[in-house]
Structure 1
Amino acid sequence: MPVRSPFPDVEIPEVPLFDFLFSDFGGRDAEPALIDGSSGASISFAELRGMTERIAAALAERGIVKGDVVGIFSPNTPYYAAVFHGILRANAIVTSANSLYSPGELAHQLKDSGAKLLFTASPFLERAAAAVEQAGLPADSIIVLDGAEGYASLRDLLASTAEVPAADVVPTDTAVLPYSSGTTGLAKGVILTHRNLVANLVQMDGVMKVGPETRILAVLPFFHIYGMTVMMNHGLHRNATVITMPKFDLPEFLRIVSEYKIQRLYIAPPVAVALAKHPMVDQYDLSCVDVIFSGAAPLDAELGNAMGKRLGCTVLQGYGMTELSPVSHAMPDDRPDLDLNSSGFALPNIECKLVDPETGEEVGPGGRGELWVKGPNVMVGYLNNPEATAATLDDEGYLHTGDVAEVTEEGVFSIVDRVKELIKYKGYQVPPAELEALLLTHPKIADSAVIGVKDAEGEEVPKAFVVLQDGAELSADEVMAFVAERIAPHKKVRVVEFIDVIPKSASGKILRKDLRAREAANA
Structure 2
Amino acid sequence: MTIELDTLSYALLTSIVGAAALLSVRNSKTPDIHPLLLNTQSDVSRLRHPEESAVYRSRMYPMGTPLCSTFDRSIRTMAEFYRLGGIEKSKAAEFLVEGINSKYSSYDDIGKRVPLVYQGLRTIAGLEPQSGNENSFVGIYAKNSLYTILTEIACHRNGLVTVPISSLAQTTHLNHVIKKTALRVLLTDSDLLGRVLSSAQGSSLKKLVVFGQASAEQKQQALDIGVELLSFKDLEDEGKTAHFEAVTVASYLLVVPPQQRVTHKDRLMLNLPLDNVFGHVLAAAVSFLGGSIAFGDEFEDELHTDITQFLAHTAEIKPTIFASGSAFLCQVKQLIESRYGGSFLFTRGYNIKEGYLKENRLIDDCKYDMLVFKDIRKTLFGGNLRLVYIDNDDNADSSLATFLRATLSVQVLQSFNTTETTSSITASMFYDYNAAPEAKGAPLPCNEIKLVDVPELSMHAEDIPNPRGEIWVRGNNVFAGYYNDEAATSDVLDADGWYFTGYLGEALPNGTFKIIGKK
Establish whether TM, by shorter chain, passes 0.5.
Answer: yes
Which residue pairs with 2:447 in the alignment? Answer: 350
CA drift at 1:46: 1.7
Which residue pairs with 2:367 in the alignment? Answer: none
Match of 1:262 among 319, 322, 327: 319
CA drift at 1:79: 1.9
Pair 1:293-2:389 in alignment: yes
CA drift at 1:226: 2.0
**Residues 102 and 127, structure 1, Cα contact 8 Å, conserved in 2:** no
**Residues 252 and 444, structure 2, Cα contact 8 Å, conserved in 1:** no
**Residues 72 and 95, structure 1, Cα contact 8 Å, conserved in 2:** yes
Which residue pairs with 1:64 in the alignment? Answer: 127
Query: Which residue type is aligned with residue 18 of structure 1?
Result: A
**Residues 416 and 424, structure 2, Cα contact 8 Å, conserved in 1:** yes
Which residue pairs with 2:32 in the alignment? Answer: none
C-alpha distance in structure 2 between counterparts of 1:291 and 1:24, whole Å = 22
Which residue pairs with 2:379 in the alignment? Answer: 284
Which residue pairs with 1:377 in the alignment? Answer: 477
Pair 1:209-2:258 in alignment: no
Classify 1:136/1:331 alpha carbon distance in 2 versus 1 (closer, same or farther; 3 Å): same
Match of 2:165 among 94, 97, 117: 97
Pair 1:3-2:69 in alignment: no
Pair 1:338-2:435 in alignment: yes
Pair 1:16-2:77 in alignment: yes
Which residue pairs with 2:497 in the alignment? Answer: 397
**Residues 226 and 296, structure 1, Cα contact 8 Å, conserved in 2:** no
State the secondary structure of the residue aligned to 2:467.
Answer: coil
State the secondary structure of the residue aligned to 1:55.
Answer: helix
**Residues 267 and 321, structure 2, Cα contact 8 Å, conserved in 1:** yes
Measured against aligned partners, the alpha-carbon deviations of 1:370-429 in whole angstroms (never above 9, x if no partner) come to 11111100001111111111111111111111111111232111111211xxxxxxxxxx
Larger relative contact order (Cα-Cα within 8 Å, sequence gap ≥ 6): 2
CA drift at 1:363: 4.9
Alpha-carbon RMSD = 2.5
Pair 1:165-2:244 in alignment: yes
CA drift at 1:89: 4.2
Classify 1:215/1:142 alpha carbon distance in 2 versus 1 (closer, same or farther; 3 Å): same
Which residue pairs with 1:253 in the alignment? Answer: 310
Matches within 5 A, 1:180-259: 198-199=249-250, 209-230=261-282, 232-248=283-299, 250-259=307-316
Note the residue ranges of structure 1 that are not aligned, 5 or more in a row.
170-197, 420-523
Which has the greater radius of gyration? 2
CA drift at 1:206: 6.4
Pair 1:43-2:102 in alignment: no
C-alpha distance in structure 2 between counterparts of 1:246 and 1:16, whole Å = 31
Measured against aligned partners, the alpha-carbon deviations of 1:94-125 in whole angstroms (never above 9, x if no partner) come to 10012122333212101101211000011111
The structure where helix makes up a greater share of residues is 2
Measured against aligned partners, the alpha-carbon deviations of 1:206-264 in whole angstroms (never above 9, x if no partner) come to 6973221111111112322122222x222212321111123356123212332222121
C-alpha distance in structure 1 between counterparts of 2:85 and 2:322, whole Å = 25
Note the residue ranges of structure 2 that are not aligned, 5 or more in a row.
1-53, 62-66, 220-228, 300-305, 341-375
Query: Which residue type is aligned with residue 331 of structure 1?
Result: S
Count the aligned residue pairs. Answer: 388
Which residue pairs with 1:30 in the alignment? Answer: 92
State the secondary structure of the residue aligned to 1:318.
Answer: strand
State the secondary structure of the residue aligned to 2:96.
Answer: strand
State the secondary structure of the residue aligned to 2:196.
Answer: helix
Match of 1:132 among 176, 196, 200: 200
Matches within 5 A, 1:359-378: 362-363=461-462, 366-378=466-478
**Residues 371 and 400, structure 1, Cα contact 8 Å, conserved in 2:** yes
State the secondary structure of the residue aligned to 2:399.
Answer: helix
State the secondary structure of the residue aligned to 2:177.
Answer: helix
Classify 1:54/1:221 alpha carbon distance in 2 versus 1 (closer, same or farther; 3 Å): same
State the secondary structure of the residue aligned to 1:382.
Answer: coil
C-alpha distance in structure 2 between counterparts of 1:276 and 1:269, whole Å = 10
Classify 1:24/1:226 alpha carbon distance in 2 versus 1 (closer, same or farther; 3 Å): closer
Pair 1:274-2:339 in alignment: no
CA drift at 1:295: 1.2
C-alpha distance in structure 2 between counterparts of 1:347 and 1:206, whole Å = 14
Query: Which residue type is aligned with residue 55 of structure 2?
Result: P
**Residues 64 and 90, structure 1, Cα contact 8 Å, conserved in 2:** no
State the secondary structure of the residue aligned to 2:180.
Answer: helix
The structure where strand makes up a greater share of residues is 1
CA drift at 1:57: 0.9
Measured against aligned partners, the alpha-carbon deviations of 1:60-97 in whole angstroms (never above 9, x if no partner) come to 22212223211000101122110112223453211001
